[in-house]
Amino acid sequence: MTLFGRYIFRQAFSALVMILLSLTAIVWIAMALKQLNLMTSGGQSSWIFFEITLLILPDIIAIIAPIALLIAALHTLNRMNGDSELIVMTAAGATVWRFAKPLLLVALLVTGWLIAANFLVTPWSLRALNDVFNKVRTDLISQVLQPGQFASPEEGLTFHIRERNSEGHLLGLILSDTRSAAEQMTYLANTGDIVKRDDKAFLVLHEGQIVRRPKGQDATIIEFDSYVLDLSTISEKGHGEGPKPHARYLGELLNPDPTDYYYTSNPGIYRAELHERFASLLYPFAFVAIVVAYLGQARTTRQSRGSSQVLAFTIAASLKLGGIAAGNLFASQAWAIILVYGLPLSGLLIGSYAAFAAMAPRKARPLPGWIAGPLEGLSELGAQLITVPWRLIGRRGRA
């Protein structure tokens, strides 16, 4: 790489890091504020709070990284043009690829992170996050089930106990689960116990009733002497179906288990998730091509580049939004795979062609002789017609 190429690479990479850190911090704060109830009403420790918010970061960074690259490329080329660096290099004969190569190298680094995140880091972090949530949901003895208080470890799930006796038995227990839109479940028990086996926790209820209220139907009451609830699968989100498709590794997406809950309910989700991970690797290069097509041309300081920046960002963002919509459509319609790969490829190819055709310095093509000769004669005749009368007027004035 030339000295000028290394200079562009440093400028673009430093801008990418700063923008990525800024956007990630903003999103992380927003996510952290949503999880503050873990420390307030949920009674969880600050370590659990930070563990949950940190495990979300790999997936967030994988989403933000291409957008950060887009903004960094826009900033770099716009700043270099404002400092007349693009003008000087273009006047020295630099082609559009001299500006594009360093940006494409930065896009290659972003793509490398996307490969690691899509196929390794994000599935691991989401699985670890699910384990933490299960731990929070099942750790009810000291952190959620406080005597005389209503506690909600998650929205729609409410616990209440009257007291806990000296032997550790829960007295006067109420459990309300209103998260399912199909039905609401309420568990009432005179006594209850938390029993742990290996990594699982069970709530054993004694002498109580189950009030089941299906939507649009009358409630039914079931009495029991003893009833066991698996706290790790107590919600409708956890029926033992395993990780969601977004948390699956590549091998699990290529060869899904035929008995998997998500695969049996909607096989298209696995298909869409698999191809979305591969298609996302094309967007960094497409974004660079679009930015170079709009901002890679040297312009004077009097020429406004604001509209070009807005157009480049709008087209790139629309391309990404269209890819997300195509992925959702591909889950139900197999033909949408054309859109999943076609959108980023079209942005890459069209942007590259436009950048080369409109911005590469080109040598002027000479006109054919049968056209150049008459044009030269006409230009000489026009010059004489203009200059001769003025010369005659000048002589008369001096006379």
Higher pLDDT residue, 390 or 219?
219
Position 160 scores a pLDDT of 83
- Higher-pLDDT residue of 299 and 175 is 175
Cα 331 from Cα 315, distance rounded (Å): 25
- 67 contacts: CB under 8 Å, gap ≥ 6: 23, 317, 320
pLDDT at 100: 81
**Residue 330 zone, left/alpha/beta (φ > 0; ψ -120 to 50; rest):** alpha
pLDDT at 287: 92
3-state secondary structure of 163: strand
Domain boundaries, the chain: 144-233
Conformation bin of residue 240: beta by default, left when phi > 0, alpha when psi is -120 to 50 = left
Mean pLDDT computed over 10-19: 91
Backbone angles phi, psi at 66, to 5 degrees: -65, -35
**What integer best gives the mean pLDDT of the chain?**
78
pLDDT at 362: 52
- 137 pLDDT above the threshold of 90: no
DSSP 8-state code for residue 280: G
The better pLDDT of the pair 57, 180 is held by 57
Burial string for 78-117 (b: 16+ CB within 10 Å, else e) reads bebbeeebbeebbeeebbbbbbbbbbbbbbeebbebbbeb
Q: What is the pLDDT of residues 154-183, one digit of tens each?
A: 677 788 888 887 777 888 888 888 877 778
**Is residue 65's pLDDT more than 70?**
yes
CA 273 to the chain's CA centroid: 14
Instruction: Name which residue leads in pLDDT, 5 or 327.
Output: 327
**For residue 237, what pLDDT band results from cuts at 50, 70 and 90?**
very low
pLDDT of res. 239: 44
Position 159 scores a pLDDT of 81
DSSP 8-state assignment for residue 141 = T
Share of the chain above pLDDT 90, in %: 15
Q: Which residue has the higher pLDDT, 396 or 165?
A: 165
Give the mean pLDDT of 66-82: 87
Question: What average pLDDT does this structure show over 314-330?
Answer: 90
How high is the pLDDT of residue 373? 57
Angle formed by the axes of helices 96-116 and 46-82, nearest 10°: 170
**Residue 236 confidence (pLDDT):** 42
Which of 115-129, 145-159, 199-213, 219-233 is predicted least confidently? 145-159
* Dihedral Cα 112, 294, 316, 339, nearest 10 deg: -90
Which residue did the predictor score with more confidence, 221 or 378? 221
User: 68: how many CB neighbours lie within 10 A of its CB?
Assistant: 22
233 and 224 Cβ atoms separated by less than 8 Å = no
Reference 352, options 300, 303, 282, 299; nearest CA is: 282
pTM of the model: 0.69
Name the band, by pLDDT with cuts 50, 70 and 90, for residue 299.
Answer: low
* The pLDDT value given to residue 360: 46
Render pLDDT for 270-288 as a digit per residue (tens, 0 to 9). 888 889 999 999 999 999 9
Please say if the pLDDT value at position 384 is more than 70: no
Average of per-residue pLDDT across 235-244: 55
- The pLDDT of residue 389: 54
At 361, the amino acid letter reads: P
- Measured on CA atoms in the order 120, 121, 123, 128, is the torsion positive or negative? positive
Q: HEC string of 290-320?
A: HHHHHHCCCCCCCCCCHHHHHHHHHHHHHHH
pLDDT for 64: 92
- Residue 48's alpha-carbon distances to 136, 143, 188, 342, 348, in angstroms, are 8, 12, 30, 42, 43
The confidence score (pLDDT) of residue 279 equals 92
Give 163 or 233, the one with higher predicted confidence: 163
Number of C-beta neighbours around residue 275 at 10 A:
18
Over residues 361-383, the pLDDT tens digits come to 455 555 555 555 555 555 555 45
Q: Give 238's pLDDT tier (boundaries 50, 70, 90).
A: very low
Which CA distances in Å does 273 have to 111, 263, 291? 17, 12, 28
Average pLDDT over residues 332-342: 89
